[in-house]
A and B are shown apart, each in its own frame.
Chain A
């Protein structure tokens, strides 16, 4: 009901005044569900961003053998297929694995 204008990064204190991205206080990039612990939230190209944002969804898809399929993965699959002929040939699972290994 009340939504405090802060989250994640600065919110190690609960209620800091900035609506910062929901990156974890540990400094992992929230955008990525990142495997690299030190990844700071920096600039990413549109392509990378769509793929990075889909990483957790891709993990869920691979782990559930395709049962769990979120919108971020769907968006990334469409994006990849709009961009590349190779992606149009590939199966959803192959693309999800590639996103996961990105």
Chain B
């Protein structure tokens, strides 16, 4: 390159102001010409044969599109030809073959109109899209593993390579992006360059493109809180239906492993992630570990919309797989109280940056993922592995893929991602600090012995005690001291669960033989169930709560809509739940119903007894 600055010394000679300016201009033009000769640049030339007006509009369009491109891209050494075409298929705006871009002639009108509004005109978007294909071909973006992770062509276990399809179809800006990685890159570059909201709607992709170009267009400031539909609102009218989670409030992430269950589909345990969220006002730190009420669980679940779980559909991907966000307390209840399975909470060794990236990924999965559950190939362990793999880039390099929850834990440990030192070695201490949650079933016999010794109960063991008719246990429940009464309370809860289980089995059999949903006669249960299934479906698919246009993470208006819609939906489900309980009870045979009611009366009596004993002493009022 010959020095573009050569003319400058002459400018220092005395001259009029005008002369200065004119010579300055000339010097710059000369410099630019020299630079252009030496530096590559992207050029788009209109095919000849356009009339003057069309040529001018085309030129303006090309300038407008090039103007939006990052410096690196504009410096691309290529000359492309642009033609207006009448023969593109319906709905197709443009094509690129080699160096020839064809745009639909319909867009030429748009190019004539120009347009300086907040949104780029469709013709500019179409041209940027085709230019993006050219850039991708030269730079290989659509073959980049990290971009494929972010885009949704996910890795898979057992087999090398990636899934053929992209299951991130919900809240897409343009379904065309799911066609292929190349189209994904083109559509997303279009939005990266033209939509100021892209940074907040697809933050991880925005960051990837910004790093790729070492440049980013001006973007809006984003709300640091990530939105999730909180399933806790289904059970608690006081809970916020939309969780707005600031990653900085999450002190740690644990691998949450449910122990083996009896049912065929729970025999391998269940893999989840626990978010150790700090209570408002508490500085992130180890103290947050006991803010149990604020902790949330990320759990992939099969969304089952029929009454019988089908193994065949489970194997073949017939059930949608969705990422649910649940309160930890609810998850602990489900496992330890209802299913009598233990939960182990194993801290992961993740930096604050890792946690933020993981949560951002979780939000994308929550709002956009519509995958299919498979017992082997895409179960909870596989989904959780993929969430870590796609969310925390450094874990992608580790050999973590596993098809079982315990297998995944072993691999996380082998890869150094498990912080075992945090878990107290003393099992009692691990329970106290919430690294493990146990069902009471492990203690039933000891609890019974406490009550038996105090009250001289006849049955030899807890099994015999629980097999007594509930009415025969009742008189003994009014006689214990605080300690024996507390033990009897836990045992009566066990009796209640047993009654409920039996009631469920009865109902299941009766429902299987029942008239089709909606028919009158035997109570409203089948109809109510069908309604619950329909209503529940929407909460399993958060994007279904939104009717506003928009893609990716919901922004302010969409969050408000999601909040209102999720709240209303949860309220309807709670009401439906209450009616279901009532109807279910009416369906039970009278003997079953009486036993159930007696156990409930026993529990109420124990509560009164405990309050009386406490009142008799001078106990504290919490």
A interface residues with partner B (beta carbon < 8 Å): 1-28, 30-31, 33-37, 40-46, 49-51, 53, 56, 58-60, 62-65, 67-72, 74-75, 78, 80, 86-87, 90, 94-95, 97-102
Q: Are B483 and A65 in contact (CB under 8 A)?
A: yes
B265 to A1, Cβ gap below 8 A? yes
A49 pairs with B293, CB closer than 8 A: yes
Between A and B, 28 residue pairs with Cβ closer than 8 Å are A1-B379, A2-B265, A2-B375, A2-B379, A10-B536, A10-B577, A11-B504, A13-B511, A17-B537, A18-B535, A19-B231, A20-B235, A21-B234, A30-B330, A34-B603, A35-B603, A37-B603, A44-B238, A53-B292, A60-B443, A60-B447, A63-B484, A71-B292, A74-B433, A97-B620, A98-B622, A100-B489, A101-B614
Are A101 and B308 in touch, CB under 8 angstroms?
no
A62 to B450 Cα, complex, angstroms: 11
B residues in contact with A41, CB < 8 Å = 235-237, 574
Chain B nearest Cβ from A30, distance in angstroms? 5
> Contacting chain A: which of B298-306, B346-354, B409-417, B460-468?
B298-306
CB distance from B170 to the nearest CB of A (A): 16
Taking CB as reference atom, which chain A residue is nearest B238?
A: A43
Residue B268 CB within 8 A of the other chain: yes
Question: Would B580 and A60 count as touching, CB distance under 8 A?
Answer: no
- Minimum C-beta distance from A55 to chain B (A): 9
Interface residues of B (CB under 8 A from A): 231-232, 234-238, 265-270, 290-293, 299-309, 314, 322, 324, 326, 329-330, 332-334, 337-338, 373, 375, 379-381, 404-405, 428, 431-434, 437-438, 440, 443, 446-447, 450, 482-484, 486-487, 489-490, 493, 496-497, 499-500, 503-504, 507-508, 511, 529, 532-533, 535-537, 539-540, 573-574, 577-578, 580-581, 584-585, 596-597, 599-601, 603-604, 606-608, 610-611, 613-615, 617, 619-622
Q: A12-B507, A87-B620, A87-B622 are in contact. Are A24 and B496 (CB under 8 A)?
A: yes
Selected from A18, A64, A101, the residue in CB contact (under 8 A) with B615 is: A101
The answer, among A1, A36, A71, A75, for a CB contact under 8 Å with B380, is A1
Q: A15-B309, A45-B238, A94-B620 are in contact. Are A8 and B508 (CB under 8 A)?
A: no
Chain A proximity of B446: nearest CB distance (Å)? 7
Nearest CB to that of B577 among chain A residues?
A: A9
**Max chain A CB contacts within 10 Å: which of B334, B450, B603, B613?**
B334
Measured CB to CB, the closest approach of chain B to A14, in angstroms, equals: 6
CA distance A49 to B306 in the complex (A): 33
Chain B residues whose CB sits within 8 angstroms of the CB of A14 once the complex forms: 307-309, 504, 508
Residue of B483, B606, B607 contacting most chain A CB atoms (<10 Å): B607
Q: For A44, list chain B residues within 8 Å (CB).
A: 236, 238
Contact call B608/A19, Cβ cutoff below 8 A: no
Q: Which of these, B332, B486, B508, B608, contacts A59 with CB under 8 Å?
A: B486
**Cβ-defined contact, A94 with B604, below 8 A:** no
Distance in angstroms between the alpha carbons of A72 and B401 in the assembled complex: 33
Instruction: Give the number of A-B contacts (CB < 8 Å).
Output: 292
* Residue from the list A63, A72, A90 in contact with B447, Cβ < 8 A: A63
Q: Which of B290, B484, B539, B573 sits near A74, CB closer than 8 Å? A: B290
Given the known inter-chain contacts A5-B304, A70-B432, A97-B614, please indicate yes or no for A17 contacting B533, CB distance below 8 A.
yes
Q: Which chain A positions have C-beta within 8 A of B322? A: 5
Check if A35 sits within 8 Å of B620, measured CB to CB. no
Please list the 4 inter-chain residue pairs (A to B) with the smallest Cβ-Cβ separation, ordered nearest first.
Answer: A35-B607, A21-B235, A71-B434, A43-B238
A70 and B87 alpha carbons, distance in the complex (Å): 71
With A and B bound together, what is the CA distance between A58 and B381 in angstroms? 34
Name the contact of A7 in the complex, choosing from B268, B338, B437, B607 (C-beta under 8 A).
B338
Given the interface pairs A26-B499, A28-B603, A43-B237, the reply to whether A9 lies near B440 with Cβ below 8 Å is no
Query: Complex formed: what's the CA distance from A41 to B329 in Å?
Result: 14
Whether A63 and B483, one on each chain, are in contact in the complex, defined by CB atoms closer than 8 angstroms, is yes
Contacts of B532 in A (CB 8 A): 10, 16-18
**Alpha-carbon gap, A35 to B434, bound state (A):** 25
Chain B residues with CB below 8 A from A63, complex form: 447, 450, 483-484, 486-487, 489-490
Complexed CA–CA distance, A24 and B438 (Å) = 18
Set of chain A residues within 8 Å of B529, measured between Cβ atoms: 13, 16
Q: Which residues of A contact B601 (CB under 8 A)?
A: 37
For B320, give the chain A residue with the smallest CB separation.
Answer: A5
| Given A20-B573, A98-B614, 16 additional A-B pairs, CB 8 A | A1-B375, A1-B379, A3-B270, A5-B324, A8-B338, A13-B529, A14-B508, A17-B304, A27-B578, A35-B489, A49-B238, A60-B443, A63-B450, A75-B293, A101-B610, A101-B613
Residues of A within 8 A of B607 (CB): 34-36
**How far is A68 from B486 in the complex, measured between Cα atoms in Å?**
12
Which chain A positions have C-beta within 8 A of B500?
A: 12, 24-26
Q: Is A22's CB under 8 angstroms from B330's CB? A: yes
B309 CB to closest chain A CB, in angstroms? 5
A1 adjacent to B603 (CB under 8 Å): no
Q: Closest CB-CB distance, B331 to chain A, in whole Å?
A: 8
CB distance from B453 to the nearest CB of A (A): 12
Inter-subunit contact B380/A98 (CB<8 Å):
no
Out of B290, B333, B380, which one reaches A2, CB within 8 Å?
B380
Looking across the interface, which residue of chain A has its beta carbon closest to that of B488? A63
Looking at B235, B581, B600, the one whose CB has the most chain A CB atoms below 10 A away is B235
Flag if B604 contacts A22 (CB, 8 Å). Answer: no
